[in-house]
Amino acid sequence: MFDNLSEKLQRVFKNLRGEGKLSAENMESALREIRLALLEADVNFRVVKQLIENIKAKAMGEDVLTALSPSQQVIKIVHEELIKILGSHEAKLRFANEPPSVFMIVGLQGSGKTTSAGKLARWLSRNGHRPMLVSVDVYRPAAREQLKVIAKEVGQPIWEGAAEEKLPLDLARSARRECANMGRDVLLVDTAGRLHIDEDLMTELQQLKEQLNPVEILFVADAMTGQDAVKSADEFHKRLGITGIILTKMDGDARGGAALSIRNVTGQPLKFVGVGEKSDAFEPFHPDRAANRILGMGDILSFIEKASEEIDQKKAVEMQRKLIDNEFTLEDFRDQLRQIRKLGPLSGLLDMMPKVGMLKELKDVKVDENEINHVVAIIDSMTPRERDNHMIINGSRRRRIARGSGRSVQEVNQLLKQYAQARKMMKSLSGGFLGRKFGKMKMPAGFPFGNLPGR
Amino acid sequence: MIQTLFGSVEPEPSLLEKLKSGVQKTRAGLVNALEDALQGRKEIDAELLDELESTLISADIGVRTTEEILERIRQRVERHQLADAAELKGMIREQLLEILAASERAPAHVAEPPAVILMVGVNGSGKTTTIGKLAQRLKNEHRSVLLCAADTFRAAAIEQLEVWAERSGAQLVRQGPGSDPSAVVFDAVQAAKARKVDCVIVDTAGRLQTKEHLMAELHKMTRTARKVIPDAPHEVLLVLDATTGQNGLEQARKFTESSGVTGIVLTKLDGTAKGGIVVAIARELNLPIRYVGVGEKVDDLLPFDSETFIESLFEK
Ligand SMILES: Nc1nc2c(ncn2[C@@H]2O[C@H](COP(=O)(O)OP(=O)(O)O)[C@@H](O)[C@H]2O)c(=O)[nH]1
Ligand SMILES: Nc1nc2c(ncn2[C@@H]2O[C@H](COP(=O)(O)OP(=O)(O)O)[C@@H](O)[C@H]2O)c(=O)[nH]1
Ligand SMILES: [Mg+2]
Ligand SMILES: [Mg+2]
């Protein structure tokens, strides 16, 4: 959907080489593209205005470097300006000197507070803490039941309050007491969603704050939020003094420009991002990745991190060499497929990939785990010699392989054809960054399982 | 007169009246940003157009649609068809009305009840709540309603719908958490047919439009409903949160592709967000907006009215 900003800038600056300096004239259309990209990413228009001025001031009169292309140079400036707002490092949670540390979780309706409370409980318990949960959402139907289910799922205790405790303040009070009694060191208070203009409910939050004396007030915001993000965040911050932000639903394709807006208007750091509905889909916020994503350059770092956890590096390097030297056999191919399988649900992994720019080929790749199993089965049925040299696989061998693997001859034919094509293509593609690291990850569309429906 | 699945009903308090009646909410008066900008000005100059642009963009209408509107204004100014700043507002309103009117469409006719309405959308947009409110509306029109708890995924989603069924006096068909949503749909549609219920509303789990397997799951639910009632679902409503920015367009696109959306419900308009993305959606996908959500109570759902909606875009 979105054209990559860096591609657009490349077009803009096509004729710039040799002009020497970035100037008002040659920057004008570049700035227009940057503005467009930021607005389409839902960065608030006032923030965009400010950013554009800063970028302009910084770029103007800079020498056009020889090491970087002008577009790369401008991207670098834009990126630096975004990081300036987003913060340059991961922000840590704060804890009280005297436990329990109380964390309040606040935000608009449906932003993901209850889910995030569960995720945070899980995260804390895996990082040396003993959290306890409480829901003071007495308004939304089944909200307390929801947190109860989630608490059970993450295996952390929840305080459900005494039967007569029906008010948020009462529940909060008894939860705090119980937390101390049970020796839990963090109390996570899940509050009801509310509009920032709802006077009564905003007052209720202030009262909760007064009573609980929290060390963290985490504002949960939906990554898909548009221009209004500044208004709600600003009001929550004015009323409560939020201490951090959790950005949810980053597993979709929203660019998440709201992060920039909220950070800018509150000055408070983003601490975590939610990347799925399950309780483990929760990560510390990385400013650098968020900046790339806002610019439409994909969350490639997350992908690389995940891939490098799973993929055997030595093997990857060896594979790369083979690719380049055109020694990539069906045996190697099967190895690669097995490694892909190890990466877990493939759809999730591909979601993290940038759908633009240099990895455009991946856009339409739909990986079917079953399909991988079929391909592996076909290769399993080959003899070592056949795997080593696909050229010897003639008609009768194909029939035998098909029988042995329980697949059709057409499937065997198709695999061999695509393998031959892919070998050629991979050789030409393998110079890229990802290619250098993990040769086979860079599958062109139409690769063995490229045109099959997803799970 | 308001169109519903079954024909017409009486008009009722407008969105604006409803919003105004929310007394404790400090919704900053009905100051008109555009009129502010126009104060004491006669000529349409670059500065005025800039302000206009900001107003439209801050309502989440999106850069492209905004640029298109401004471009037309510029052209008219150049051709001297428009000189007076006071005419400006009328012209913008006209353009927006045109976009919204072009996508208006009456709901499909239901030959034989039950009518099947499928609610879809991303996580937390307000599907379940809207279902509760819609059930109440239908009840008010003396229709019998059956709710189908096909969100078997989210924690306590079934219990939540159960509360709404009680509130609105609707029947409920449910299975246990984690069961196959299509199986619940099958049960519900069959039960509705057997019990001669007027309307089935299917609650589905929230899903981001990028998750293909989940989109396929929706498609399967549709197919299942068709096994019992060949022309089901009669309405597929995409529930969209008014705070949504530009991603809303992609949501509308993908949900339409996978489950044939026939209309939009715009929720949470009681906040300060304007929901302008529906203009871009109407323009690109021709989807009508059916209802707006203006609160969390059972009667906080109103039929969409484009004039009021456009008026509210210009409020501060
Ligand atoms: N895809 C996705 N869904 C999320 C994420 N966080 C929350 N959700 C979903 O968003 C919806 C609303 O979440 P909930 O915690 O009930 O929101 P609350 O009203 O703020 O408490 C639910 O369907 C959640 O499963 C996330 O990071 N990714
Ligand atoms: N203020 C307001 N809140 C709403 C509206 N519609 C839904 N909500 C709230 O949004 C949250 C998510 O709603 P829910 O129906 O559970 O969303 P679902 O995940 O799409 O089913 C709940 O807290 C609802 O009370 C609305 O029109 N206005
Ligand atoms: Mg909640
Ligand atoms: Mg729901």
Which domains, from first to last, does chain B contain? 33-102 (1.20.120.140), 115-305 (3.40.50.300)
| Percent above pLDDT 90 for chain A | 51
Residue A352 forms part of a structural domain = yes
Residue for token digits 């649900």?
A345
Distance separating alpha carbons of residues A329 and A336, to the nearest angstrom: 11
Spatial CA neighbour of B164 closest among B181, B148, B180: B148
pLDDT score at B74: 87
Q: Are residues A167 and A71 in the same domain?
A: no
Distance separating alpha carbons of residues B19 and B25, to the nearest angstrom: 9
Chain B CB contacts of A228 under 8 Å are 60, 242-243, 271-274
Q: Is the CB of A436 under 6 A from ligand 2?
A: no
Q: Are residues A16 and A79 in the same domain?
A: yes
Residues across chain A: 455
Q: Are residues A311 and A277 in the same domain?
A: no
Q: Are residues A14 and A162 in the same domain?
A: no
Q: Answer with the one of A254, A286, A318 that is the final residue of a domain.
A: A286
Residues B261, B120: contact at Cβ < 8 Å?
yes
User: Which segment of A31-40, A348-357, B243-252 scores lowest on mean pLDDT?
Assistant: A348-357
Residue A236 forms part of a structural domain = yes
Residue for token digits 């096509």?
A14
Q: Are residues A64 and A182 in the same domain?
A: no
Provide the CA A206 distance to its chain's centre, in angstroms: 33
User: Which segment of A18-27, A63-72, A391-400, B163-172 scores lowest on mean pLDDT?
Assistant: A63-72
Q: Is the CB of B128 under 6 A from ligand 2?
A: yes
Shortest distance, CA A274 to any CA of chain B (angstroms): 12
Q: Are residues A318 and A185 in the same domain?
A: no
Contact of A110 with chain B, judged by CB distance below 8 Å, is answered with yes
CATH number at residue A12: 1.20.120.140
Report the DSSP beta bridge partners of residue A104.
A189, A217
Which of A109, A139, A147 lies nearest to residue B268, judging by beta carbons? A109
Could you tell me the residue range of the domain that residue A431 belongs to? 303-441
Burial of A360 per CB tally in 10 Å (0-12, 13-18, 19+): middle
Q: Are residues A278 and A384 in the same domain?
A: no
pLDDT-derived band at A362, boundaries 50, 70, 90: very low
Q: Is the CB of B125 under 6 A from ligand 2?
A: yes
Tell me whether residues B271 and A227 touch, CB distance under 8 A: no
Which of B57, B164, B245 lies nearest to residue A225, judging by beta carbons? B245
Coil, helix or strand at residue A248: strand
Mean pLDDT on A59-80: 74
pLDDT score at A423: 72
Q: Which B-chain residues 199-238 have CB contacts (< 8 A) with chain A?
A: 208-213, 216
pLDDT at residue A68 tops 70: no
Q: Is the CB of B84 under 6 A from ligand 2?
A: no
pLDDT score at B213: 92
pLDDT score at B37: 56
- DSSP at A17: T
Any idea which ligand is nearest the CA of A143? 3
Q: Work out the mean pLDDT of chain B and round it to a whole number.
A: 87
Q: Are residues A82 and A120 in the same domain?
A: no
Tell me whether residues A199 and B57 touch, CB distance under 8 A: no
Ligand 1 atom at minimum distance from A146 CA? 16
Q: How far is the CA of A103 from the centre of ligand 3 (A)?
A: 15
pLDDT score at B153: 96
Q: Work out the mean pLDDT of chain A and round it to a whole number.
A: 81
Q: Are residues A216 and A115 in the same domain?
A: yes
Residue A451 forms part of a structural domain = no
**Residues B20-58: tens digit of each pLDDT:** 443 233 333 333 455 555 566 667 778 888 888 988 999
pLDDT-derived band at B288, boundaries 50, 70, 90: very high
pLDDT-derived band at A4, boundaries 50, 70, 90: low
Q: Is the CB of A110 under 6 A from ligand 2?
A: yes
Total domains, chain A: 3
pLDDT score at B12: 52
Residue nearest atom 9 of ligand 1, based on CA coordinates:
B123
Q: How far is the CA of B308 from the centre of ligand 2 (A)?
A: 22
pTM score, two decimals? 0.80
Spatial CA neighbour of B135 closest among B106, B115, B108: B115
Contact of B286 with chain A, judged by CB distance below 8 Å, is answered with no
pLDDT at residue B1 tops 50: no
Q: Which two tokens stand for residue A376?
A: 């592996």
Q: Which two tokens stand for residue B96?
A: 């927006």
Mean pLDDT on A38-57: 93
**Residues A198-223: tens digit of each pLDDT:** 999 999 999 999 999 999 999 999 99
Tell me whether residues B124 and A1 touch, CB distance under 8 A: no
CATH number at residue A409: 1.10.260.30
Contact of A25 with chain B, judged by CB distance below 8 Å, is answered with no
CA separation, residue A2 to residues A34, A307, A347, B59, B63 (Å)? 13, 25, 20, 21, 13
Residue A449 forms part of a structural domain = no
User: Which segment of A16-30, A39-53, A431-445 scores lowest on mean pLDDT?
Assistant: A431-445
ipTM of the complex: 0.89
Residue A376 forms part of a structural domain = yes
CATH number at residue A157: 3.40.50.300
CB atoms within 10 A of CB B15: 20
Q: Are residues A192 and A259 in the same domain?
A: yes
* First-to-last C-alpha distance (Å) of chain B: 29
Strands A216-222 and A101-107: parallel
Tell me whether residues A110 and B63 touch, CB distance under 8 A: no
Q: Which B-chain residues 46-85 have CB contacts (< 8 A) with chain A?
A: 54, 57-60, 62-63
Shortest distance, CA A40 to any CA of chain B (angstroms): 6
Residue A196 forms part of a structural domain = yes
Contact of B153 with chain A, judged by CB distance below 8 Å, is answered with yes
Residues A39, B63: contact at Cβ < 8 Å?
yes
